[in-house]
């Protein structure tokens, strides 16, 4: 079994794209968007990602229908499988967000949990999905010709272990985040560790790498839309190697073409977000913008929680950020010390907190 080591070249073209991606990222991160508007934009991005990623797999629901399914306001006869796919993908995005909020890492268990949620039809509690134990093949939908034969089932566990180990090394080696995300997508699709749901899980894994690397853009982008708008280009870019068989050179193939395609998609997606975010940032007063800039990322995000309830407790922070009790208590203590929140009920079991007076106008 070949040992995984991605083979690519960062060309001048790639380097220039990476520079532009970084410039857009910094521009968006500095925009002080009002929390209520941010919540709306983030939800729209999640629905877009869900619609386009499932559409790539043949899902027949429209964008409007996806929103209705996620919101539980409608059911579409004869579309049970489509609805299950939508609910599963949306739930998996939630797991991605929770992992990033708690500053997690890309592990095999996390990847297996993502896949379980993708296939779980919206269930919130799932067990990590074990890898396939049988061979699978990818066929052309019209001709039924085999277009790719993944590695044998016995080689899947060691290959996935190599992939997650490469993640750890790539972070230490300071490989650009967009490159790491591109490699993650390519190699996961190459291993094809499940009988179904590999494409959706690969796209979620890609977004996980970007978010963890500081390229989440407040959760406002949808890279899935880029793939879906030109599927033939997507498939051509990721179909690399001299043979349709994994053991015929796929592992050693030069993936520079895929790297360039992927990075161009990140740039285009980020630019689209930049335009929407700049418009959203004009809402509110300059004073509010200055105050928002003074808050750290966790504090800004917590404003979404205060938007729906005036007081919070440790259990609210635990649920919102997926924190353990001790971590939630430590965060709240730090926020009190910083003057971000104040204690409104000092009881040991019922201690509650509210925003400090000077920050309350941010919710208006």
Give the model confidence (pLDDT) of 154-167 as tens digits.
999 999 999 999 99
- Six-digit token string for 4: 């995984």
Dig out the tokens for 148 from the structure.
């790719």
User: pLDDT at position 199, please?
Assistant: 93
pLDDT at 56: 92
pLDDT in tens, 294-305: 777 788 888 888
Mean pLDDT along residues 351-358: 90
Distance CA 284, CA 32 (A): 9
Q: What is the pLDDT of residues 81-109, one digit of tens each?
A: 999 999 999 999 989 988 888 888 899 99
Cβ atoms within 10 Å of 308's Cβ, excluding its own: 10
Model-level pTM? Answer: 0.76
Phi, psi of 135 (to 5 degrees): -75, 140
Q: How far is CA 81 from CA 78, 85, 201, 212, 282, in A?
A: 8, 6, 17, 31, 41
pLDDT band at 285 (very low <50, low <70, confident <90, very high): very low
What is d(CA 19, CA 212) in angstroms, rounded to the nearest whole number? Answer: 19
Q: Which pLDDT belongs to residue 41?
A: 83
What domains are there in the chain, each with its CATH number? 12-279 (1.10.3290.10), 286-363 (1.10.10.10)
Q: What is the 3-state secondary structure (H, E, C) of the chain?
A: CCCCCCECCCCHHHHHHHHHHHHHHHHHHCCCCCHHHHHHHHHHHHHHHHHHHHHHCCCCCCHHHHHHHHHCCCCCCCCHHHHHHHHHHHHHHHHHHHHHHCCCCCCHHHHHHHHHHHCCCCCCCCCCCCCCCCCCCEECCCCCCEEEECCCHHHHHHHHHHHHHHHHHHHHCCCCHHHHHHHHHHHHHHHCCCCCCHHHHHHHHHHHHHHHCCCCHHHCCCHHHHHHHCHHHHHHHHCCCCCCEHHHCCCCCECHHHHHHHHHHHHHHHHHHHHHHHHHCCCCCHHHHHHHHHCCHHHHHHHHHHHHCCEECHHHHHHHHCCCHHHHHHHHHHHHHHCCEEEEECCCCCCEEEECHHHHHHHC
Helix axes 80-101, 314-321, angle to 10 degrees: 120
β-strand partners of 312: 353
Percent of the chain's residues with pLDDT above 90: 51
Q: 364 Cβ partners below 8 Å, 6+ apart?
A: none
pLDDT of residue 142: 73
- Mean pLDDT of the chain, nearest integer: 88
């Amino acid at each position: 079994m070949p040992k995984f080591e991605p083979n690519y070249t960062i060309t001048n073209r790639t380097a220039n794209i990476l520079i532009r991606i970084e410039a857009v990222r910094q521009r968006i991160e500095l925009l002080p968007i009002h929390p209520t508007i941010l919540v709306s934009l983030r939800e729209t991005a999640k629905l877009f990602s869900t619609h386009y990623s499932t559409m790539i797999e043949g899902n027949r629901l429209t964008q409007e229908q996806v929103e209705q399914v996620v919101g539980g306001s409608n059911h579409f006869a004869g579309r049970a499988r489509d609805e299950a796919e939508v609910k599963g993908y949306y739930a998996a995005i939630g797991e991605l967000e929770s992992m990033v909020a708690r500053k997690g890492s890309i592990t095999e268990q996390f990847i297996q949990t993502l896949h379980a949620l993708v296939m779980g039809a919206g269930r919130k509690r799932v067990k990590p999905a074990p890898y396939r134990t049988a061979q699978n093949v990818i066929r052309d939908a019209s001709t039924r010709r085999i277009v790719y034969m993944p590695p044998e089932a016995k080689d899947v566990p060691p290959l996935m272990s190599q992939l997650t180990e490469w993640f750890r090394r790539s972070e230490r080696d300071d490989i650009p985040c967009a490159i790491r995300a591109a490699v993650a997508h390519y190699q996961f699709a190459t291993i094809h560790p499940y009988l179904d749901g590999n494409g959706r899980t690969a796209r979620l894994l890609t977004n996980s790498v970007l978010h963890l690397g500081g390229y989440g853009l407040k959760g406002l982008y949808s890279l899935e839309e880029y793939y879906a708008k030109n599927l033939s280009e997507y498939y051509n870019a990721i179909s690399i190697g001299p043979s349709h068989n994994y053991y015929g050179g796929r592992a050693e193939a030069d993936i520079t073409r895929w790297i360039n395609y992927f990075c161009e998609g990140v740039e285009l997606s980020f630019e689209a977000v930049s335009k929407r975010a700049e418009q959203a940032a004009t809402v509110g007063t300059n004073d509010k913008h200055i105050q928002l800039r003074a808050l750290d990322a966790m504090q800004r995000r917590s404003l979404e929680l205060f938007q729906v309830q005036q007081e919070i407790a440790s259990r609210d922070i635990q649920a919102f950020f997926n924190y353990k009790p001790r971590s939630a208590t430590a965060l709240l203590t730090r926020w009190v010390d910083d003057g971000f929140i104040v204690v409104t009920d000092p009881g040991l079991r019922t201690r509650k907190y509210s925003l400090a007076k000077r920050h309350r106008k941010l919710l208006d």
